[in-house]
Amino acid sequence: MSNTTSDSEKRFWNNYIALLEEHNVKPTTYRWYIQHCEQFIRCYTEIRLKSHTQETLSQYLSDILENTNLKPWQKTQAFDALKFLFLSIHSPISNKIDWEYWKMSCKELERDHTTLARNNTPIKKQLNSDMDSKGGYDNGPEIEKLIYVIRAKGYSIRTEKTYIHWVNRFLKFNVNLKSEAVDDDSVIKYLSYLAVEKGVSPATQALALNAIAFYFKSVLVIELGDLSAFVNAKKRQKMPVVLTTDEVSIMLNSLSGIQLLLVSLLYGGGLRLMEAVRLRIQDVDFGYQQIIIRNAKGNKERIVPLPVKIVDNLKQQISNVRNQHKLDLQNGYGSVYMPSELVKKYGKSDKQWVWQYIFPSSKLSIDPKSKIIRRHHLHESTLQKTVRNTARKVNIPKRVTCHTFRHSFATHNLERGMDIRTLQQLLGHSDVSTTMIYTHTANFSKGKTSSPLDFL
């Protein structure tokens, strides 16, 4: 605010700052919020604030997204500033704009994002970024072969990075041994070292063993023998965090727009976060009331129920996406990311309607490898942050994450009498023992395990 600000303007901005205080915005950012608002007002000097329409505001938000001089956090801050600006004047369009959706679009998929990394990262570059230079060993060709085999088998990019990480650590531990000298004994010593010296969990130790065993079999062409002599990591039983049905309702009632729809899918279908944001048009079958989850963890597919309560909202979202896609095609765009194997199989299908994401970003971006301008799916990080903040806001005394809704889906289905095998299929677990953990949380919530204190 300048020194020549009138009394009415001072009152206006004082009311605005009071609204920021009410929503716990940090005082150190007030001046930046005001600057974003003043910049917006200067761009539309011929339009009064209360006369703005959803179209003019959306166009301005789109311009912010396309501004390459602003960092993602600055764009998010600008959206927040404008949201409070229109709330402060009680403008009806403040409730018509899906602010969270715009904020989710601020962050583009990184080059190494799990959706893009496999096709965008050449093996040589992946090798250089994952090798531990402090190890003092020369196993480049072997790790390169390991990456080739992993990709040939269609494993996810996260599995690829995890396996490379653990094989590198194993080779560093045995830095004085040549490749042909590593054997069962060297594996046993390393696994025992992880348990005794590093204090890793059983799951981490098992993951390291899987990576090393894969390396031996696929690269060294050696079958490991009896490894039972290694020291097992101390087992810790970790119970999943589960919300009650009331807590789920409170969370859902505190969300709106795209984020409400996404969280409804996480809880209503037991989806993982990335499974939800990667859904494509062809994955939803309204006729059979089901959702097909493709390329899930372990490269598996499964079918989950489509919640009836979100059908109308989901159809509206798909309708919005269709309109956006038509506009993209008219402007010479309309391409969407597809894995290279699908491109080879289906050819130029990346502009077809059925392949489009249900939750696309509101901005186009350049694919880091092909340099094609595409519309990727929303970045998942904003939803993760919103779920955490919402749980704190509504005072739920639990560590709530996006995955908590999947845990709650499983537990609540067991409480309602679903058999464990059906639940296993819905969750996509390979082993029923993984699903069995939810019998513990369900038993307690149903009162099947009672305290003797209650009988005194």
Residue 308 or 362, more confident: 308
pLDDT surpasses 90 at 397: yes
- Among this protein's residues, is 388 annotated catalytic? no
Give 310-337 pLDDT, tens digit per residue.
999 999 999 999 999 999 999 889 989 8
Amino acid at 69: N
pLDDT, average across residues 219-247: 80
Instruction: Give the residue extent of every domain in the chain.
Output: 7-97, 131-220, 240-446
The two structure tokens encoding residue 375: 């519309």
pLDDT surpasses 50 at 132: no
Class of domain 131-220: mainly alpha
- Compute the CA torsion angle 383, 386, 387, 388 (nearest 10 deg): 130
Mean pLDDT of the chain: 85
What residue has token string 């996480």? 266
Active-site residue identified among 297, 351, 369, 388: 297
Active-site residue identified among 36, 103, 113, 429: 429
Give 55-74 pLDDT, tens digit per residue.
899 999 989 988 888 888 89
How many angstroms separate the CA atoms of 75 and 86, rounded?
A: 17
**Closest C-alpha among 73, 115, 193 to residue 365:** 115
Active-site residue identified among 83, 302, 388, 403: 403
The two structure tokens encoding residue 282: 């062809």
Give 279-289 pLDDT, tens digit per residue.
999 999 999 99
pLDDT at position 421 is 94
How many angstroms separate the CA atoms of 252 and 424, rounded?
A: 25
pLDDT surpasses 90 at 353: yes
What residue has token string 């996260």? 158
- Among this protein's residues, is 406 annotated catalytic? yes
pLDDT at position 136 is 40
pLDDT at position 456 is 66
Active-site residue identified among 374, 377, 406, 412: 406
Q: How much of the chain, in percent, has pLDDT values that exceed 70?
A: 86
| Three-class DSSP labels, 289-315 | CEEEECCCCCCCCEEEECCHHHHHHHH
How many angstroms separate the CA atoms of 169 and 132, rounded?
A: 8
**Closest C-alpha among 220, 227, 207 to residue 158:** 207
pLDDT at position 135 is 41
Give 153-194 pLDDT, tens digit per residue.
877 777 888 898 899 888 888 876 666 667 788 888 888 888
pLDDT at position 134 is 41
pLDDT surpasses 70 at 413: yes
Q: How much of the chain, in percent, has pLDDT values that exceed 90?
A: 43
The answer to whether residues 258 and 304 touch, using CB atoms and an 8 Å cutoff, is: no
The answer to whether residues 118 and 151 touch, using CB atoms and an 8 Å cutoff, is: yes
- Among this protein's residues, is 272 annotated catalytic? yes
How many angstroms separate the CA atoms of 332 and 330, rounded?
A: 5
Predicted structure pTM score = 0.72
What band does 98 get if pLDDT is binned at 50, 70 and 90?
Answer: confident
The two structure tokens encoding residue 156: 């996810």
- For residue 188, the tally of other CB atoms under 10 A from its CB is 18
Active-site residue identified among 16, 101, 337, 438: 438
What superfamily would CATH give domain 240-446?
Answer: Intergrase catalytic core (1.10.443.10)
Q: How many CA atoms lie within 13 A of 251 on its CB side?
A: 31
pLDDT surpasses 60 at 151: yes
Give 216-231 pLDDT, tens digit per residue.
888 888 888 777 777 6
The answer to whether residues 233 and 201 touch, using CB atoms and an 8 Å cutoff, is: yes
